[in-house]
Structure 1
């Protein structure tokens, strides 16, 4: 039985009200409010997860992951594109998440040895893996060659020379794509834009023809295409994508004119999601932009979404430690902190916050600062957020936390890593144990001169 939903805004800041609890819930089909059990993920009450696993805990919806993977693939197919999707593992490295996506036919875009090993452990074949990043080590490149991955995205002339020497010494040939920087402003947060000339990623697009020709001549390398990625959390429409892909199309035409082989185009990722109520482009819009700019080339394309796939299906479940009345502000102090979910402290990011209890969900709301227990003023999730009065041990859920949540956690203030749970229909399971204090301290060693074991 569904509870009646409040229609008052979830913010009382006035001029630009936040979406109401009802609006936040309605936009996320894997969530619902039950009159007795409270906030549900699929068919599992979050209160049940908290009772069994404790808090803070990350919770992922397998059903939502599947639906989003299928929606993206459907949009690409509907545009008539020959496309492969390689999930950006950096967004969420949970093996359970990777396995759900692997079962949906997605490959992986990785940026480290650890991510490559995680992708393989989840059953993604080497032929479905792309290795990106500006600072791949020799050890990482050796593993990529040994796993015979689909391609290594080269980001500099220096990296190309190093990989050529390594592959030749191993008697192998590495398939490579050249990542170009199209100098396009994606109009996203400065810390997550990657396609402008001052960013560290890729090579200047005007230098690409000469370097691509060099790749074709270097031993141990097989150039197979070009790649770009202009940023993350792009919500400003398709203009930046169209501009970047138009420059890629010109580059491909120039390479073809020189008789150089181009087998496919790596379009990157970056499609944003609506954390609050901001408009965000849909996969159909991105597919249309790709078709309009790159379609005439007749080449297969690759996409590397991360946040769009994994963000909405995840949330962070937390408990109230206490409610504190300050001089001018009410504080809700939680057992989750910036070491768990760092995005608000790092990016001033907005996350929807929902009370989990059915009574709390419909109770009158007033402004509160939502904070954690870490000894930093920056350990603040929200200021002036409209929330009901919540007693100790009441539960709240941070929405859209499946991407760049658990993967960016730390043990600052000696706080253990939170548990991770996956929900699939009526069942749930712990997919990563909560770190114990013994495990947290276990890697520490005292030198002999401080009384440690010799």
Structure 2
């Protein structure tokens, strides 16, 4: 009754194109869309490696480890690229831990963050020997002590400091203010260190700070790190050695051309060097968005143009389940036609087919006139695009490909209906709890 979901073609080179506006890391986007269908996430391996190289170059001469924030994009191909580049992982769940290990990231390059680690997750991370836990509450610290003692191992831990610094970013991705759920005050952390000798199976010798995401100024970083540095010096003078300082992530990217002015890696690291001058322990960094956001695009086709009483709606085949950021954060993403034929400019509300008014990518956006079937590109979707996707409205998860120097490889095939419902079943067997 229903057509079967078609199987994607095998990865193949795409070449013989002369229109540079159609290319993404050398791959012809219209041909890619024809072969793979839309909506489609595509990631440039070259762009990701360039960001990694820029950060490594800025860190030259420092004892520093980049731990990629897996939540930004947890596709195994992305994680394997990180592993091959010597990058570690910042995880917030056992699922992310298993992904990182499966992709080849060694346990000793993995740090475990997050406010809600339970005993089973802590036990699993201890079993594989991760580098460090970023501890966010006293209860978590006691749980870590209890679980580590049961395994007869010593857990390495850092206390996450909440420096009460405004990251000047969206409220939902601000994490370093006193009203946020993350970390503890310096006063509370001071008490932890004063009592650290009572922790027989936790080696508390690290500091961690992360104040938010999509930060476009060095000033919040400078202020937060100055407070962490003052605390580090205080602890050292009190006889508490600090072997690692995790400076978190948060570097912003360009979502809106001509408006967003991201901080350069070199300028960011210069702030770290200045604030932590004289520190000789290991530095940990947790970039996520910075490494992958601008390396990703979402290809989508126009289903139809719908005239309204007050505006025109451009209805796409991509939806909020494929890219939640606009509906969740009112986030801006540049949206452009893949082929610009010099059509007159028209103003649209750009929406998806999901049955929600919130399924809106942009309001009052000017684009060259679009027709049904036109291919559009939503830019900077490599972070918090596919990783936050859902099957809302029973829409299958979109396919994902990695592109590099004119070739592409499927890194996640489009989800089939049978896979979508695989864990569901009729209520046949009833039990009492």
- TM class by shorter chain equals over 0.9
Contact map agreement 2:205 2:240 (CA 8 A) in 1: no
Given candidates 30, 37, 45, the residue that maps to 2:28 is: 45
Q: Aligned to 1:318, which of 285, 300, 322?
A: 300
User: What residue number does 2:313 align with?
Assistant: 331
Which deviations, in whole Å up to 9, do the C-alpha atoms of 1:373-427 show, x marking residues without a partner?
0111111101111112222221111000000111111111111111110001121
SS of the counterpart of 1:382? Answer: strand
Q: Does 1:95 align with 2:76?
A: yes
Which residue of the partner structure matches residue 43 of structure 2? 60
Once residues 126 and 195 of structure 2 are traced to their aligned partners in structure 1, the CA distance between those partners, rounded to angstroms, is: 20
Please say which of residues 320-329 and 106-115 is displaced more in the overlay.
320-329
Q: 1:213 offset after TM fit, Å?
A: 3.2
Q: Structure 2 residue aligned with 1:187, among 168, 175, 186? A: 168
Partner of 2:240: 260
What pairs up with 1:63-142 in 2 under 5 angstroms? Answer: 63-77=46-60, 80-142=61-123
Contact 1:38 1:47 in 2 (8 A): no
Q: 2:228 and 2:118 mapped to 1: Cα distance?
A: 27
Query: Where does residue 16 of structure 1 map in the other structure?
Result: none
Q: Does residue 153 in structure 1 map to residue 140 in structure 2?
A: no
The 1-side partners of 2:134 and 2:429 are apart by 47
Q: Find the aligned partners of 2:364 and 2:197 in 1 and give their Cα distance.
A: 58
- Size of the aligned set, in residue pairs, is 412
1:389 maps to which of 366, 369, 383: 369
Q: Which residue in the other structure is 1:344 paired with? A: 326
- 1:267-416 correspondence runs (5 A): 267-276=247-256, 277-359=259-341, 362-416=342-396
Separation of aligned partners in 2, 1:52 and 1:388: 25
The aligned counterpart of 1:7 is: none
Structure 2 counterpart of 1:199: 180
2:13 corresponds to which residue?
none
Q: 1:436 aligns with which of 412, 416, 420?
A: 416
Alignment partners' CA distance in 2, 1:36 and 1:131: 45
SS in structure 2 of the partner of residue 295 of structure 1: coil
Between the aligned partners of 1:137 and 1:416, the Cα distance in structure 2 is 31
Could you tell me how far apart the structure 2 residues matched to 1:102 and 1:355 are?
34
Are 1:239 and 2:222 an aligned pair?
A: no
Q: Gaps spanning 5+ residues in structure 1: where? A: 1-33
Q: CA deviation at 1:282?
A: 0.9
Query: 1:65, 1:310 within 8 Å by CA — same for their partners in 2?
Result: yes
> Do the aligned residues in 2 keep the contact of 1:178 with 1:212 (CA within 8 Å)?
no
Tell me: CA distance 1:216–1:289, structure 2 relative to 1, closer, same or farther (3 Å): farther
- Paired with 1:299 and 1:440, the residues of 2 have a C-alpha distance of 47
387-396 vs 429-438, which moves further:
387-396
- Secondary structure of the residue aligned to 1:309 is helix
Relative to structure 1, the CA distance from residue 257 to residue 37 in structure 2 (aligned partners, 3 Å threshold; closer, same or farther) is closer
Equivalent residue, structure 1, for 2:9? none
Displacement of 1:36 in angstroms is 4.5
After superposing on structure 2, the runs of 4+ consecutive aligned residues of structure 1 that deviate more than 4 Å are: 34-38
**d(CA) in 1 for partners of 2:108 and 2:170?**
33
Unpaired runs of 5+ in structure 2? 1-16
- Aligned partners of 2:404, 2:70: CA distance in 1, in Å? 21
**Partner secondary structure for residue 162 of structure 1:** helix
CA contact under 8 A between 1:39 and 1:358: conserved in structure 2? no
Instruction: Give deviations 1:196-234, integer Å, cap 9, x for gaps.
Output: 111111111122121123334312111231101000000
- For residue 35 of structure 1, report the CA deviation from its aligned partner: 5.5
- CA–CA separation in structure 2 for the residues paired with 1:181 and 1:449: 48
Which of 403, 417, 436 aligns to 2:397? It is 417
Q: Give the match for residue 168 of structure 1.
A: 149
Contact 2:159 2:206 in 1 (8 A): yes
SS at 2:361's partner residue? strand
Supply the RMSD in Å over aligned alpha carbons.
1.4
Deviations 1:55-85 (A, max 9, x none): 10100000000000000111121xx432211
Deviation sequence 1:152-192 (CA, Å, 0-9, x none): 11111111111101110111111111111111111111000
- Separation in 2, partners of 1:317, 1:223: 47
